[in-house]
């Protein structure tokens, strides 16, 4: 991480310091800046090119051992033993004490700094200025460590899907529904299998999508009930490593049985659209260019999009991936310029109520000369 960019923003904005007050489980920027994971809010300050954490005395030793900051201080060192029952009031006392001790009056805050706290700190005579984009910008370019961690989660994601697909491969159709070892195969059962595999790899996944038949035509419907034969089953899995906090993301669409001709055509178009996007990936190209090429490709291939009816290609081509499942850079109408070290998904999809949905999603790393696809899982419609 090149935290100098944050120092430059502080300097250029005429600020004395930058602070965050949050839980780093909730706030990816804060975890990125500190490498300190805590469910309870703590104070981070960047001031005079030094990073400081202020935590409870109970957390001091853990913060000193695990965080990446220059200094770890305790709340008690600033507030003594005084107990302030009101949470916001206690936070305000701490923040203003730390700012006072550092002679900082004009202070930058992250975009999620609580407005209640901002009002209270301002009422004590401090100037707070929201700073959007600097830390997010740092996070766009991954280090070798981050790439390694994302790839590791991606491998776990693939192992999980492999175990779920092997159940589908060993299932038989009974009146239009898949059965595995004598009982109905459901979306819920497949999600449990995916979850178990991921837990075994010290990853967690929430909101996993396993949707079949008509449900698959609604992109983010989580899916429920029996898995249909001769119909699309869309898997979209985005696990997070418990240890590193990095995420993976992968979508596949499969059919057990006989897909309709229309579904096969949709699948081929989505697969080709993904290749169109991959063909463009290199530094200097914008996410908007990549998205526009995919939109145009679908139109030329005869797959119409109707955003009002919600059918066709109705979402963006992809997104950055890291400590959050969706982060910068965007591969959409508003996508900025790609640079080496970006980790992005390429996930075109087509959705029609009468045919079903198809989505294919891989993760690519932008390299000096082009890109590297770090998703190794096969793409095969009929299994
Ligand atoms: Mn995705």
Task: Note whether residue 379 is domain-resident.
Answer: no
Q: How far is the CA of 361 from the centre of ligand 1 (A)?
A: 7
Distance CA 15, CA 325 (A): 31
Here the CATH number for the domain that contains residue 47 is 3.40.350.10
Residue 215 sits in the same domain as residue 77: no
Distance CA 272, CA 89 (A): 57
Residue 173 sits in the same domain as residue 263: yes
Average pLDDT, the chain: 97
Residue 283 sits in the same domain as residue 307: yes
Residue 130 sits in the same domain as residue 166: no
Q: How far is the CA of 319 from the centre of ligand 1 (A)?
A: 7
Q: How far is the CA of 347 from the centre of ligand 1 (A)?
A: 7
Task: Note whether residue 202 is domain-resident.
Answer: yes
Task: Note whether residue 383 is domain-resident.
Answer: no
Residue 168 sits in the same domain as residue 117: no
Q: How far is the CA of 207 from the centre of ligand 1 (A)?
A: 12
Residue with tokens 């965080």: 67
Domain boundary among 84, 111, 139: 139
Q: How far is the CA of 261 from the centre of ligand 1 (A)?
A: 27
Reported as a pLDDT band with limits 50, 70 and 90, residue 85 is confident
Q: How far is the CA of 229 from the centre of ligand 1 (A)?
A: 25
> Would the pLDDT of 3 be above 90?
no
Residue 212 sits in the same domain as residue 290: yes
Q: How far is the CA of 345 from the centre of ligand 1 (A)?
A: 6
Per the rule left: phi > 0, alpha: psi between -120 and 50, beta: everything else, 48 is left
pLDDT tens by residue, 98-126: 999 999 999 999 999 999 999 999 999 99
Residue 79 sits in the same domain as residue 148: no
H or E stretch covering 240: strand 240-241
Q: How far is the CA of 154 from the centre of ligand 1 (A)?
A: 12
Q: Are strands 209-212 and 177-180 parallel, antiparallel or unpaired?
A: unpaired
Task: Note whether residue 248 is domain-resident.
Answer: yes
Q: How far is the CA of 258 from the centre of ligand 1 (A)?
A: 27
Q: How far is the CA of 302 from the centre of ligand 1 (A)?
A: 25
Here the CATH number for the domain that contains residue 294 is 3.90.230.10
Q: How far apart are the first and last CA of the chain?
A: 43
Task: Note whether residue 378 is domain-resident.
Answer: no
Q: Is residue 292 within 8 Å of 375, Cβ to Cβ?
A: no
pLDDT tens by residue, 308-366: 999 999 999 999 999 999 999 999 999 999 999 999 999 999 999 999 999 999 999 99
> Would the pLDDT of 1 be above 80?
no
Q: Is residue 203 within 8 Å of 242, Cβ to Cβ?
A: yes
Q: Return the percentage of the chain with pLDDT > 70, whole number.
A: 100
User: How many structural domains does the chain have?
Assistant: 2
Structural domain of 180? 141-373
Domain boundary among 112, 139, 166: 139
**What distance lies between CA 57 and its chain's CA centroid?**
32
Task: Note whether residue 99 is domain-resident.
Answer: yes
Residue 15 sits in the same domain as residue 72: yes
Task: Note whether residue 13 is domain-resident.
Answer: yes
Q: How far is the CA of 250 from the centre of ligand 1 (A)?
A: 7
pLDDT score, position 81:
80
> Would the pLDDT of 189 be above 90?
yes
Domain boundary among 90, 118, 139: 139
Q: How far is the CA of 332 from the centre of ligand 1 (A)?
A: 12
Residue 251 sits in the same domain as residue 369: yes
Residue 368 sits in the same domain as residue 273: yes
Q: How far is the CA of 17 from the centre of ligand 1 (A)?
A: 35
Residue 134 sits in the same domain as residue 146: no
Q: Is residue 150 within 8 Å of 321, Cβ to Cβ?
A: yes
Task: Note whether residue 380 is domain-resident.
Answer: no
Q: How far is the CA of 249 from the centre of ligand 1 (A)?
A: 5
Q: For 134-170, b where at least 16 C-beta lie within 10 A, e where not — what string?
A: bbbbbbbbbeeebbebbbbbbbbbbbbbeebbebbee
Residues 6+ apart with CB under 8 A from 65: none
Tell me which residue of 152, 150, 155, 182 sits closest to 167, measured CA to CA: 182
Residue 149 sits in the same domain as residue 109: no
Tokens of 58: 């109970």
pLDDT score, position 244:
97
H helices present in 206-357, as ranges: 261-280, 287-300
């Amino acid at each position: 991480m090149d935290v100098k960019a944050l120092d430059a923003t502080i300097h250029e904005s005429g600020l004395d310091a930058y602070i965050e007050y949050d839980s780093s489980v909730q706030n990816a920027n804060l975890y990125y800046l500190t490498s300190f994971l805590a469910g309870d809010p703590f104070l981070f300050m960047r001031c005079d090119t030094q990073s400081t954490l202020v935590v409870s005395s109970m957390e001091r030793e853990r913060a000193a051992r695990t965080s990446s900051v220059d200094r770890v201080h305790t709340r008690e060192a600033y507030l003594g033993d005084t107990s302030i029952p009101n949470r916001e009031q206690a936070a305000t006392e701490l923040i203003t004490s730390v700012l006072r001790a550092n002679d900082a009056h004009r202070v930058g805050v992250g975009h999620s700094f609580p407005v209640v706290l901002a009002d209270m700190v301002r009422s004590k005579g401090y100037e707070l200025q929201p700073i959007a984009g600097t830390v997010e910008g740092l996070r766009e370019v991954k280090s070798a460590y981050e790439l390694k961690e994302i790839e590791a989660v991606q491998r776990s994601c693939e192992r999980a899907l492999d175990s779920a697909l092997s159940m589908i491969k060993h299932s038989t159709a009974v009146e239009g529904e898949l059965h595995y070892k004598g009982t109905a195969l459901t979306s819920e059962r497949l999600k449990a299998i995916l979850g178990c595999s991921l837990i075994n790899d010290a990853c967690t996944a929430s909101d996993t999508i396993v949707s079949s038949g008509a449900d698959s035509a609604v992109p983010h419907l989580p899916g429920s009930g029996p898995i249909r034969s001769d119909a699309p089953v869309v898997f979209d899995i985005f696990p997070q490593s418990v240890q590193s906090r990095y995420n993976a993301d992968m979508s596949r669409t499969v059919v057990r049985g006989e897909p309709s001709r229309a579904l096969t055509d949709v699948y081929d178009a989505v697969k080709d659209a993904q290749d169109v996007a991959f063909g463009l990936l290199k530094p200097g190209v914008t996410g908007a260019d990549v998205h526009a090429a995919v939109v145009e490709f679908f139109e030329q291939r005869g797959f119409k999009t109707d955003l009002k009816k919600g059918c066709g290609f109705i979402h963006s081509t992809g997104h950055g991936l890291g400590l959050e499942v969706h982060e910068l850079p965007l591969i959409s109408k508003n996508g900025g310029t790609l640079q080496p070290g970006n980790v992005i998904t390429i996930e075109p999809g087509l959705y029609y109520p009468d045919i079903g949905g198809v989505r294919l999603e891989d993760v690519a790393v932008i390299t000096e000369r082009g890109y590297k696809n770090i998703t190794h899982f096969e793409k095969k419609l009929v299994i």
